[in-house]
Amino acid sequence: MEENAPLDTGMTNAPEDARPAGEWLEGYWRKTIPWAFRTAWMCWVFAGFSALISLTGYQSMMGSEGGLTMLGMIFSVLLIYSPVFALGYFIHGFGRQLQTALTMSDQGALENAFTHLYRTMLAGTLVAFFWVLLMLNHTYITLNFYSNF
């Protein structure tokens, strides 16, 4: 006599029913890793260099301003460039996790890599929004200045 099959036969959840990424996709990811590391380093150098330039601009005020004001200035500079630093951190995390996922065939690391990429995009939104605001302000001042000629 034929046995009854369980009712949940054939009903599977991820990852069993998920599609394999495939060699092409894994190949693209592999090529992306070195550029993720380069971009991360570039972000850190960019943030560090820009913060240093801004801080040297305040150097002339060092003697005249109080300690608390100077501390506030340093803090504000660090606050301005911290999203760029975070951008670098998340891109580096994306590259590192992607490398682990591909070398160890680690599904969890792959999902973590894309979580880092998502955070990169969130930090990128903050940076882009801030830069657009700054540029809008600059354009407004420039146009105002030349309209008086």
Partner 1 sequence: MENKDEIPDETSQGHSELNAEGQPALLLSDVLMDRARQIGRAGKIVMILFLTLCGLYTVNLLIDFWEWQTTRSGDFYLLEGNNAYQVWRFCSTAIMVYLFVRGAWAGFQAMRNIYTGSRYDDDDALLNGFEGIKPMLKWFTIWGAFWLLSDLLEKIYLWNSLN
Which one of residues 9, 12, 39, 51 is an interface residue with partner 1 (CB under 8 A)? Answer: 39
> Three-state SS string across 33-88, please?
HHHHHHHHHHHHHHHHHHHHHHHHHCHHHCCCCCHHHHHHHHHHHHHHHHHHHHHH
Rank residues 5 and 14 by Cβ distance to partner 1 and give the closer one: 14
Q: How many Å apart are CA 108 and CA 105, to the nearest integer?
A: 9
Which one of residues 20, 63, 66, 67 is an interface residue with partner 1 (CB under 8 A)? Answer: 20
> Binding to partner 1 by residue 52, rule CB under 8 A?
no
List the end-to-end C-alpha distance of the chain, in Å, as a whole number: 99
Site for partner 1 in 60-89 (CB under 8 A): none
Determine if residue 35 is left, alpha or beta; phi over 0 gives left, psi from -120 to 50 gives alpha, anything else beta: alpha
Rank residues 2 and 17 by Cβ distance to partner 1 and give the closer one: 17
Sign of torsion over alpha carbons 18, 117, 131, 76: positive
Site stretch for partner 1 (CB under 8 A), options 3-11, 60-68, 75-83, 108-116: 108-116
**Token output for 52:** 């240093």
Binding stretches for partner 1 (CB under 8 A): 14-15, 18-26, 28-29, 31-32, 35-36, 38-39, 42-43, 45-46, 49, 53, 91, 101-102, 104-105, 107, 110-111, 114-115, 117-118, 121-122, 124-125, 128-129, 131-132, 135-136, 138-139, 142-143, 146
